[in-house]
Structure 1
Amino acid sequence: MKFLLLLLAVFALLWLLRRTLRSKLPPRAESAPAVVPQEMVACAMCGLHLPRAEALPGRGGVFCGEAHRTAFETTHPEG
């Protein structure tokens, strides 16, 4: 009986200690805001998909780089 009483006292002490420490912790930080999806476009020359913000506009569509824009505009003249 003495052993059970001692075990109960230790358990109660640990529970109170844990509860006290938990209340002193700062609140959890909010999770990072969700990333907004970006519109993806395909390069008119090679078909590579990339975010519209990174694409280069040109005659005939958007391109993944200056080299593809120049090559496309050279091989596909207007008119």
Structure 2
Amino acid sequence: MARIVLVLAVLLGFFWWLRQRAEARQAGERDARPPRPRPQSQPQPAPQEPMVQCARCAVHLPRGEAIAYRGLHYCRRAHLPPDSDADNPAA
């Protein structure tokens, strides 16, 4: 009977040792892995500018890039009406 208890104690000790060794190996692997990159928040898009349409060719462009003349918008100086002052299109 004492032999059985001694064999069981040795076996339990052996399995406990194997388990400790496996846990230490797993902990070492976790430490060796590079850290997972955190998802970065996406950059906020720039506020959008209202679009306007050229009175001559009907192309759409941002209001800041358009030439305003007598309540209408134009995409370039060449599209301004002939009676406009080409040197001062924003008048």
| TM class, shorter-length | 0.5 to 0.7
Using structure 2 for the length normalisation, give the TM-score. Answer: 0.53
Other-structure match for 1:56: 67
The C-alpha deviation readout for 1:23-79, integer Å capped at 9, x for no partner, is xxxx8876433210110000000000000000001135010000001xxx228xxxx
Q: After the TM superposition, which segments of 4 or more aligned residues of structure 1 sit over 6 Å from their partners?
A: none
Q: Any stretches of 5+ residues in structure 1 without a counterpart?
A: none
Q: 1:38·1:51 contact (CA, 8 Å) conserved in 2?
A: yes
Aligned residues: 67
Distance 1:9-1:28 versus aligned 2 partners, 3 A rule:
same
- What are structure 2's unaligned runs of at least 5 residues? 1-14, 84-91
Higher helix fraction: Structure 1 or Structure 2?
A: 1
Q: Percent identity?
A: 29
Please tell me whether the aligned partners of residues 41 and 62 of structure 1 are also in contact (alpha carbons under 8 angstroms).
Answer: yes
Larger RCO, structure (CA 8 Å, separation 6 or more): 1
Matches within 5 A, 1:1-79: 5-18=20-33, 22=35, 31-59=42-70, 61-69=72-80, 73-74=81-82
Mark the structure with the bigger radius of gyration: 2
Root mean square deviation, CA, Å: 3.3
Secondary structure at 2:82's aligned position in 1? helix
